[in-house]
Every structure is written in C-alpha cells, then in structure tokens.
C-alpha cells in the first residue's frame, strides 16, 4: 500500500471518528431537549431537539457514505434505522396536546430504549475507526 493510500485511509478514518463524536454529542443533546421540555422549558427543549436532530442526521449521512470497514458497514445502517424510529417517536414526547405524564411515559417506554440502543451502537463504530487509524 502506498503512502498516499494510507494517507487517504487515515483521513477518512479521522473524519469518521469526528462524525461519530458529533452523533454522540447530538443524541445526548436531543435527550437533554426532551428533559427541558418536561421541566417547563418547552420551547427551548423543542428548539434544542430540532437543532441537534439536524446535526445528528448530517453526521450520520457523512458516516453512511464514508464506510471503510466491513463491521462499520453492518453497524452504521443499524444506527440509521434506530434513529429513524427515534426521531419519529420523540415527537410524542414534545406533542403539546398530550399531558406531561403521557409525554413522559412515551419517553421512558419508547424513546429511552431507542436512545440507549443508539448510545450502544455509536461508540462501536467510533472504536472501529479509531482502531483503523493505528
């Protein structure tokens, strides 16, 4: 393998590490937005969710088109599938026509397990790319 090819692989791996970190930060902030909406900061929470959902989607798109490793190609589409469900059901948590207890129930019964799944899968992809840089 030439030094140019190695350089390209390292740059792509570094980019994937960066976008995995962006996804992790965005998903945490989305969860924080939901909690803000539960504790009387509805508008701030919804704005936070919308802003970081967009950041997550952008980072995920970069990751999806920049897959370098076989295992990464298996995990990244899983993250995407879980996030599609997550983004759909998170709207129940911020639906102002529902009572707070209904929104909280939706969060703990549906959103939180999906959130946990994303938080479990994302670091695996991050670690794959970090290992690929060594």
Task: Average the pLDDT over 96-110 and give the result.
Answer: 94
Give the DSSP H or E segment for 39.
none
Q: Domains in the chain, start-ordered, CATH in brackets?
A: 3-128 (1.20.120)
Instruction: Identify the residue whose tokens are 């992809």.
Output: 125
Per-residue model confidence as pLDDT tens digits over 64-85: 998 988 999 999 999 999 999 9
Which residues make Cβ contacts (< 8 Å) with residue 90, sequence separation at least 6? 30, 34, 49, 53, 111
Per-residue model confidence as pLDDT tens digits over 27-78: 999 999 999 999 999 999 999 999 999 999 999 999 999 898 899 999 999 9
Instruction: Identify the residue whose tokens are 């695996």.
Output: 124
Task: Average the pLDDT over 89-93 and give the result.
Answer: 91
Which residues make Cβ contacts (< 8 Å) with residue 10, sequence separation at least 6? 133
Determine if the pTM surpasses 0.75. yes
């Amino acid at each position: 393998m030439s030094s140019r090819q190695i350089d390209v692989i390292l740059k792509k791996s570094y980019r994937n590490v960066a976008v995995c970190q962006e996804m992790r930060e965005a998903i945490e902030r989305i969860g924080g937005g939901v909690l803000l909406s539960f504790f009387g900061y509805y508008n701030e929470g919804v704005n936070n969710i919308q802003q970081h959902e967009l950041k997550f989607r952008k980072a995920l798109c970069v990751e999806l088109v920049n897959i370098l490793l076989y295992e990464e190609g298996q995990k990244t589409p899983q993250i995407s599938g879980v996030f599609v469900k997550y983004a759909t059901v998170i709207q129940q948590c911020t639906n102002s026509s529902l009572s707070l207890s209904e929104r909280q129930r939706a969060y703990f019964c549906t959103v939180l397990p999906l959130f946990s799944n994303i938080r479990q899968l994302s670091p695996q992809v991050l670690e794959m790319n970090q290992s690929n840089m060594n």
